[in-house]
Amino acid sequence: MAQVHTFGDLCSPISCHAWNKDRTQIAISPNNHEVHIYQREGSDWKLIDNLNQHDLRVMGIDWAANTNRIVTCAVDRNAYVWTRGEDGKWSPTLVLLRINRAATCVKWSPLENKFAVGSGARLISVCYFEKENNWWVSKHIKKPIRSTVTTLDWHPNNTLLVAGSADFKVRVFSAYIKDIEDQPEPSVWGNKVPLGQMLAEFPNSPSGGGWVHGVSFSADGNKIAWVGHDSAINIADATKSGARGAVCTKLKTEFLPFLGCTWVSPNSIVVAGYSYIPLLYYLDGDQLQFGAKLDNAQKKEAGGLSAMRKFQSLDRQARIENDTNLDSIHQNAITCLCLYQGTKAKANKFSTSGLDGQLVIWDLQSLENSIQGLKIY
């Protein structure tokens, strides 16, 4: 089961979206320098604010559930933290990123006391609020990143950070800020916690594998999933150590490249991208297995005809097929994937948005009942 949402007269591609805590409001970027805030009113959405402080295209949005703050980053090399006033309007505070290239992605930490911004400057800005000067400042993680940081995710312990980049690598760093937090407990990824300490590094594949488009820590923080431009899905498990560290599992798929991934159970992940359809994969021992295409709204061929027989029939009858709609809910690439209900340990619903201007909410429990043989949890 899937719910399709559109927003006003918006026909532009949606580059990214983020939900508030109770899912009554959503922040979306229509592939430009603005961020639109919509309020749910029954089955419709009402535009209640327009965040237009950025000068160039917005690349990332994240909405802190508990503190109710929004952080945005853009190609203009800036990031803003937005707070909602008593009048219901959002006001921005500039973040001192200290970068000379576009900001490409942003993510709040689990405790929401800091956030990380990836950029084309080959570094990660770990940002936190400095009470003495009443502003948001940043500290940089640089080495050994050699290209644009394209995606980020936080470990549940609020200290470790996984980053994927255009140099075909996935790396785990310490993002510990001693000024605002206590010394963290040791984890399976390592005990060294100085800011910028690299604890693990994984190539997307031995021969390169393309840019890394999406990364995700598992609910317990012991596994990392990532997807890249080689149409493969990768998982690294730190609890299973080989000669060179965490054991990695890779599955090359037949689909177009994926742009995002997230865990929906301890052993299952959902991926989506240029194939327009969310896909489920799961770990079976040390092997990744295909679960199902989660878009069960695909059209069935009339009369059970194969595609070849259908076109032969059209040719004999000299008819022209005018139906240009694809056999999927999304009609273009899925660019953003977020959890909607539940956690990475047990997600009930997730949302996707794409270049077709649609936002779709997918119900995993309904899909598990409707797709024969599908098991998620």
* Amino acid type, 70: I
DSSP 3-state helix, strand, coil percentages of the chain (rounded to 5)? Answer: 5, 50, 45
376 in Cβ contact with 280 (< 8 Å): yes
Q: How far is CA 165 from the centre of its chain?
A: 14
DSSP class of residue 78 equals -
Return d(Cα 173, Cα 304) in angstroms, integer: 53
Q: Is residue 127 domain-resident?
A: yes
State how far the Cα of 190 lies from the Cα of 157, in Å rounded to an integer: 13
pLDDT of residue 366: 85
Confidence of residue 301 (pLDDT cuts 50, 70, 90): very low
- Give the model's confidence band at 285: pLDDT under 50 very low, under 70 low, under 90 confident, else very high: confident
pTM: 0.91
| Any domain includes 162 | yes
Q: What is the CATH number of the domain that holds 138?
A: 2.130.10.10
Would the pLDDT of 304 be above 90? no
Average pLDDT, the chain: 90
pLDDT of residue 314: 58
Mean pLDDT for 198-218 is 88
Dist. CA 217–CA 160, nearest whole Å: 10
- Indicate the SS3 state at residue 311: helix
Most confident of 60-74, 204-218, 286-300: 60-74
Q: Is 310 a domain residue?
A: no
What confidence score (pLDDT) does residue 305 get?
46
Which residues constitute the domain of residue 159? 2-301+331-370
Is pLDDT above 80 for 324?
Answer: no
CA dist 125 and 152 (Å) reads 11
Sheet strands (E) in 296-344: 334-342
Beta bridge partners of 131: none
Task: Judge contact between 276 and 231, C-beta under 8 A.
Answer: no
In order of 3, 217, 218, 227, 229, the CA distances from 210 in angstroms are 33, 20, 23, 10, 5
Residue 346: pLDDT band by 50, 70, 90 thresholds? Answer: very high
Instruction: Report the distance separating Cα 108 and Cα 117, nearest Å.
Output: 9
Query: Which amino acid makes up residue 139?
Result: K
Q: Give the mean pLDDT of 244-258.
A: 89
Would you state the structure tokens that stand for residue 183, as one six-digit string?
A: 């010394």
Total number of domains in the chain: 1
Name the amino acid, one letter, at 161. L
Model confidence band, residue 302 (pLDDT cutoffs 50, 70, 90): very low
Report the pLDDT averaged over residues 342-350: 96
Q: Does residue 238 register a pLDDT over 50?
A: yes
Q: What is the pLDDT of residue 332?
A: 95
Can you tell me the distance from the alpha carbon of 217 to that of 163, in angstroms, rounded to the nearest whole number?
10
Q: Does a structural domain hold residue 79?
A: yes
Q: What is the DSSP letter of 256?
A: P
The amino acid occupying position 189 is: W
Give the per-residue pLDDT at 299. 45
Question: pLDDT (tens digit, 9 = 90+) per residue, 162-184?
Answer: 999 999 999 999 999 998 999 88
Residue listed under structure tokens 């949890």: 377
Tokens at 124, concatenated: 């990660």
Q: Does residue 326 lie within any of the structural domains? A: no
For residue 342, give Cα distances in angstroms to 21, 22, 101, 219, 355. 11, 12, 35, 11, 26
In a domain, 309, yes or no: no
314 against 7, higher pLDDT: 7
Give the H/E segment covering residue 134. Answer: none
What pLDDT is attached to residue 300? 44
Cβ 62 vs Cβ 106: under 8 Å: yes
Would you say residue 323 lies in a domain? Answer: no
Ramachandran bin of 199, using left for φ above 0, alpha for ψ from -120 to 50, beta for the remaining angles: alpha
Is residue 116 in a domain?
Answer: yes
